[in-house]
Structure 1
Amino acid sequence: MNHPTPETPIRAVVFDLDGLMVNTEDVYQLVGTELMRRRGKTFDDDLRGAMMGQPAAAALAVMIKWHALTDTLDDLAAESEQTFWEYVEERLTTMPGLHELLAYIDERGLRKAIATSGARHYAEELLSRVDLHEHFEFLLTAGDITHGKPHPEIYQLAAARLGLATSECLVLEDSHNGCKAGVTAGAYTVAVPSPHSADHDFTGAKFIADSLADPRIRAVLAG
């Protein structure tokens, strides 16, 4: 159960969204599978891994190039979004341990924010559906940055907005791209893989948590 002690006390927690706080990677698996089925293609693990953690446009561009699709990015994005919300309706849920961790963060008097590769309208809608939209100090999305994950910009911006050094921020991420962004930014980065990202390379992460309920996360926050 050991974990590296932060060099400076952690004063804020910055969460990724997809696959970390909510089970949207489950939904994306269904959406990707359906989009490819309609085109006589497959949505395999390698393709899913290459897309994960990237802004939507970049992820769909990977899909188009991967299978040499004739679809335009705009058309595929519209179809993907419509299919996603159809599937989300009955399938969206929070990830194990999330609510308990949020309560503990509040107990400790720490701050919390979200930094996601998704679009703002998308992230706000998801958070609203699971009643989490008012639990965070702010939300950073693809529209707030020039470079998406794995570039560190979004976590550098989060720290700046918090008025903290990146080393004072605990970053929780479920994907290789997101984890690399946190590590490169200089944040205390912990990987919390979902079943969809369990095989990702989390080089640089302080440790790989079993879930958001992993007691090592609380130990880091306790100082």
Structure 2
Amino acid sequence: MLNNIKAVLFDLDGTLIDSMSVWKSIDIEFLADYGLELPNDLQSSIEGMSFTETAFYFKERFHFKESIEEIKSIWNKMAYEEYTTTVQLKDGVVSFLQYLKENNIKTGISTSNSIELVKGVLNAKRISHFFDTVLTACEVNAGKPSPDIYLKTAERLNVKPTECLVFEDIPMGILAGKNANMKVCTIYDDFSKNQDSKKRELADYYINTFYEVLEGTYEVLINE
């Protein structure tokens, strides 16, 4: 999987950390404050959107009077404690990051989340030093499945897209990596288990934990 790879790029939520369930709870609580229920199609509607794009979507769909920045601020405050005290790393993350560091393979985070929450969880888990760069989708023109965030991360790391390996947990993220002409490994996440067949269709590799990369027991989905 790592042959000829000079940089490994990671999504954050559902990929490096088990945090997707946090957002469903936040969405339910946030909407309840306005007397609204969580629509069944909400998650599929916002999949891949940047933090800012999601705030725009909420404001337009639910006709909130708050500004985009106010909505984002509320979400950051609601999620910060969970991200810094409760959310856990995926199995094997630290061992894999140590391996990449020892083998001089560059690393980057390419996430749809807010920079405040990214920094909060990386510092809380003491893994920020493993990453050469962190980029949020709010810093590029379009969120996933647009390739923008992955292309920009590769540019920052001074590597070609074809020299990058992406780790993602949802179809829109996998498509973003593939649209950037990068190899993509998808990881099992309980939150997206109903999308597993689609994830397998789109990705090059599949893992349940990062230990499988180190052990060479990952699943190859497309012939190399």
**TM-score, normalised on structure 1?**
0.82
Deviates more, 1:32-41 or 1:42-51: 42-51
Match of 1:70 in 2: 64
Q: Which structure has greater strand proportion?
A: 2
Match of 2:146 in 1: 151
Could you tell me how far 1:14 is from its partner in structure 2?
A: 0.7
- Which residue, 122, 127, 135 being the options, matches 2:130? 135
Aligned Cα root-mean-square deviation (Å) = 2.7
Aligned to 2:202: 204
> What letter matches 1:166 in structure 2?
P
Aligned to 2:119: 124
Query: What code does the residue aligned with 2:16 have?
Result: M
**Percent of residue pairs identical:** 22
CA–CA separation in structure 1 for the residues paired with 2:210 and 2:44: 21
- The runs of 5 or more residues in structure 1 that have no matched partner are none
Residue type of the alignment partner of 1:17: L
Pick one of 178, 183, 193 that aligns with 1:183.
Answer: 178
* Match of residue 7 from structure 2: 12
CA displacement 1:64-93 (0-9 Å, x = unmatched) = 455x34343344323222211244353122
Distance 1:65 1:110 in 2: 42
CA distance in 2, matches of 1:79, 1:165: 37
Alpha-carbon separation, structure 2, partners of 1:121 and 1:157: 20
Q: Secondary structure at the match of 2:192?
A: coil
Looking at both structures, which has the greater relative contact order when contacts are Cα pairs under 8 Å and sequence separation is at least 6? Answer: 1
Q: What's the CA shift string for 1:4-61, capped at 9, x where partnerless? A: x68x611221111122112221221221121122233333553123223321121233
1:167 corresponds to which letter in structure 2?
T
Code of the residue aligned with 1:155 in structure 2: it is: Y
Hey, what does 2:16 align to over in structure 1? Answer: 21
> Is the alpha carbon distance of 1:153 and 1:95 closer, same or farther for their aligned partners in structure 2, counting shifts above 3 Å?
same
Are the structure 2 counterparts of residues 217 and 205 from structure 1 closer, same or farther at C-alpha, using a change threshold of 3 Å?
A: farther
User: SS of the residue aligned with 2:185?
Assistant: strand
CA distance in 1, matches of 2:141, 2:112: 11
Tell whether 2:46 aligns with 1:51.
yes
CA contact (8 A) 1:173 1:193 kept: no
